[in-house]
Amino acid sequence: SSQVGKIFKSITELKTDLIKIKTLINSIKEVKPSEQVIPMAKEQVIAPVQEIIKQHEVVSVPPVFKKEEPVAQNVTAIPVKPVVNQIKPKVIKATIPKTDLEKWIGEHVLSIIGIGVLVLGLAFFVKYAIDKNWINEVGRVAIGILAGGTLIALAHKLRKTYKTFSSILVGGGIAVLYFTISIGFQYYHLFSQTAAFSIMVVITAFAVL
């Protein structure tokens, strides 16, 4: 920076000296031809110019390059938040299925009525056969056991398709077996008390299972 200042100062002084030289030249031109003394004018012009040139010798100054220091750039890392589409959970209201009254009546009430009629019909048929002596005592008990077993077997076959109806059939078959064993023990004395009790226990255990 000091060298640059010196250069600017030298340039300013040169400008001043040039102005002086121009003034001097103009003053010489204004002198009349009779008053002109060529040797003296020549010496007067050359001497100041040489002095000015000696005073202001141009000093070659190497170019100054200012090294640019690397500027540390403070880069603040901006945290990038992951874009997540917030999906609001849908509130699903629990809908209680309405009971179909007709379906319930068809699957429960009518089935129970049908099994009840079947059991009563078998009981009436057995009693009627007893009164008319159409079938002997062993045949009557055998018909009751066969009817109860048939109902239970049919219920077992339909248990996957018609659960409600099959459970009602099982109940009807067990009821027929109870009546048959009870009549065979009390009226016909076909079973002893121990045998009748054992058969009833087996039927009850089967009903529970």
The per-residue pLDDT for range 64-104, each reduced to its tens digit, is 555 555 555 555 656 555 555 556 656 555 554 555 777 77
Query: How far is 6 from 59, CA to CA, in rounded Å?
Result: 10
For the segment 8-35, the average pLDDT, to the nearest whole number, is 77
Question: How far apart, in Å, are the Cα atoms of 157 and each of 18, 103, 174, 186, 205?
Answer: 133, 22, 16, 33, 20
Contact criterion met (CB below 8 Å) for 161 and 139 = no
pLDDT value at residue 133: 79
Q: Are 24 and 45 in contact (CB under 8 A)?
A: yes
Residue type, 107: E
Banded pLDDT at 201 (limits 50, 70, 90): very high
**pLDDT score for 197:** 92
Pick from 171, 176, 75, 159: nearest CA to 121: 176
Residue 31 banded pLDDT, cuts 50, 70, 90: low
Question: According to the model, what pLDDT value does residue 26 have?
Answer: 81
Given a contact cutoff of 8 angstroms between Cβ atoms, the answer to whether 191 and 165 are in contact is: no
Is the model more confident about 197 or about 55? Answer: 197
pLDDT of residue 96: 45
- Please state the rounded mean pLDDT for residues 109-127: 78
Say how far apart CA 183 and CA 179 lie, in whole Å: 6
Instruction: Output the six-digit token pair for 168.
Output: 């009602």
Quote the longest CA-to-CA distance of the chain.
Answer: 193
pLDDT tens digits, one per residue of 146-175 = 988 998 898 888 888 888 878 888 888 898
Statement: residue 198 has pLDDT above 90 = yes
Average pLDDT of every residue of the chain: 74
Contact present, 203 and 197 (Cβ < 8 Å): no
**Region 122-131 average pLDDT:** 76
pLDDT surpasses 50 at 33: yes
Angle between helices 163-186 and 137-157 (to 10 degrees): 160
> Given this model, what pLDDT does residue 41 score?
47
The answer to whether the CB of 119 falls within 8 A of the CB of 179 is yes
